Structure 1
């Protein structure tokens, strides 16, 4: 599937690009695909810049004497300047940095890049990444650790369900006996179950594995129609979906029964919604280079609630689609 989707835009942003040899700014579209970045002129459709993600050595927010605010992308010894980014420089930076990091870590949207041409570059950039972003790599290590424990955690979740069922049986049994006996036994059973619940609660606090974590992946997310995409994490549990920010602070938790629909916009983007009557729905958009892995789990857990949107079909069926037009791009902000 990586061959099928490699040329499709995961996201596109209107912006301006500085053509250094002509010393002028050109309006156009910056498009991100699973393997590369490219800038296309809106005037004549000319591809003015194109490079593989693994060849990028740095992505920075910068200002200079000739432009107030810009984003620079360094490829080898060439620095590319982008400005007038829509919806904002911060949003574009967050999305690009996410997919670039996942590319460097070798597990993401473009894991199929040929090892022979990327191995040396990946090694060099990983060293740079470690020195500049220690905390992010530690977070990635935690993600891999959680994924390694996923089957154990599923069993923990199932065992807890079985345990809860046993506790419920204990509550019911005393009521089938004589009143004097039922009151006395009910009291004993109540104390025993309360003790068991306290013990279970204490053990759950020892680590996320006790809650039945299936997988945990880095994401870029936004709430509702907000276009301010921020880095964070999505945790898929046996009984819930949990979103946290880049500092691992809780943002929102959907209990399994609270999820009304999950829309799959592309293999890398989903939206989750809980519907209400008389008050606003609670919805989040989530993007991740690892979303294809998450989708395989969500399809099993939320089979009747998942809806694949038209853009997803286009992404899977039309590998030659051009992402140069922001109005027809897979990730147009209007979706």
Structure 2
């Protein structure tokens, strides 16, 4: 017993020593210095599209440094794991060339050549070199393609009228896409109403059959019950349209994307096409990889404004899932929210981005509308700037340059088209509300009729 107590005391002392050593090490490891907090706050200002563990070749010291390569929309950064210091940070617009190379003829690497002949080496990339290269090259190319007039912009700065015109043109495009989706939704409601009308006519035939079965055999007028049912006329307010799916294959938007299927270690460039009836994913050779029908999509997860995943569940076999990264994904997500509102799931990064917005989209569009109207009004009538209660002119309005006549006319046309689209969308929504009320009433009538027919059939049996 004395030996057991001695052994237990020694073992407990060793455990306390190990616990003290590990806790001290973890405390030293977790305590960030002020410089580390500063660099992390600085990186949090930009949205991180993707990050990969890798090593960077530090040329002055001739050694490889382990860290993390982060891709944001304006720049590419490398932060070390040991100190948290940002060793390299340069904008994507300054990149001249991106290549796949090997260091010492063994290790696969990615080299990035900057303006000024500065060359950066990145190796030990995870999950693979091809994945990192494809994503960085995609965003770099899209940045270059989105700035066709970059050389012209250097010589002459972009005017306030051009910026406002571009903003309003983008809003008009979103409104047109929403109107197309509403039109297709109205066609689906009309098809539902036609199906309910046909169901009512079938229930009338069933009522005649049950009446004949319930009548006695000697009843001489049973043959009169067999009449050809009259043709069902569509209800008032429901337009008569063909049963063909007109407009289902209409393309809403088409964007280039980096596609991964089930695993993130293998990616390939391709294209995402949003149709009225569903989604299509093509590879770089325009070959169809998969088509998601609208009703087959089970969930769409939004990881960030530039990355989503689309999944279709199956029973007895693996799910069909694709993950897509694109620089133009912010243009697609609002359309997907309209088409798949109940199937969209915003994850943490997307929710943080949404919470940082100062106002809702409706408030932003309203403010844009009023700002455009006010700018055009001051330009046309040459009104003085608004003065606050203390008599000082508002700095924002005095600093804005006057719009040219061409910009004013273009903005006026865009606003008129947007107003027409908004009125059409409002009338379509009102018509769909009435159609939904009609569908609900027809479903209630059909349910009552079916219950009544079931009771009559039970009496016959």
Q: TM-score, normalised by structure 1?
A: 0.66
Aligned match of 1:263: 301
Give the structure with the higher percent helix.
Answer: 2
Change (3 A) 1:180 1:62: farther
Structure 2 CA distance for aligned equivalents of residues 247 and 167 of structure 1 = 41
Change (3 A) 1:173 1:8: closer
Which residue of the other structure, out of 260, 270, 273, is the alignment partner of 1:222? Answer: 260
Change (3 A) 1:99 1:122: farther
Question: What is the CA distance between 1:221 and its match in structure 2?
Answer: 1.5
Q: Is it true that 1:75 corresponds to 2:114 in the alignment?
A: yes
Question: What is the CA distance between 1:284 and its match in structure 2?
Answer: 1.2
- The two structures, once aligned, show a CA RMSD in angstroms of 3.9
Structure 1 CA distance for aligned equivalents of residues 118 and 257 of structure 2 = 29
Change (3 A) 1:95 1:15: same
Question: What is the CA distance between 1:287 and its match in structure 2?
Answer: 1.1
Where structure 2 has 5 or more consecutive residues not aligned to the other structure, the ranges are 1-42, 155-172, 206-224, 232-241, 358-461
Give the structure with the higher percent strand.
Answer: 1
Structure 1 CA distance for aligned equivalents of residues 339 and 348 of structure 2 = 22
Aligned match of 1:93: 133
- Which structure has more relative contact order (CA 8 Å, sep 6+)? It is 1
Structure 2 CA distance for aligned equivalents of residues 85 and 318 of structure 1 = 32
1:1-335 matched pairs, under 5 angstroms: 7-65=46-104, 67-76=106-115, 77-106=117-146, 119-120=150-151, 211-317=249-355
Change (3 A) 1:318 1:251: same
Check conservation: 1:153, 1:213, Cα contact below 8 A: no
Structure 1 CA distance for aligned equivalents of residues 349 and 186 of structure 2 = 39
Check conservation: 1:54, 1:122, Cα contact below 8 A: no
Higher-Rg structure is 2
Q: TM-score, normalised by structure 2?
A: 0.49
Number of aligned pairs? 266
Structure 2 CA distance for aligned equivalents of residues 98 and 263 of structure 1 = 21
Change (3 A) 1:300 1:95: same
Question: What is the CA distance between 1:289 and its match in structure 2?
Answer: 1.1
Change (3 A) 1:27 1:316: farther
Question: What is the CA distance between 1:11 and its match in structure 2?
Answer: 0.5
Check conservation: 1:218, 1:288, Cα contact below 8 A: yes
Aligned match of 1:140: none
Where structure 1 has 5 or more consecutive residues not aligned to the other structure, the ranges are 108-114, 124-145, 186-195, 320-335
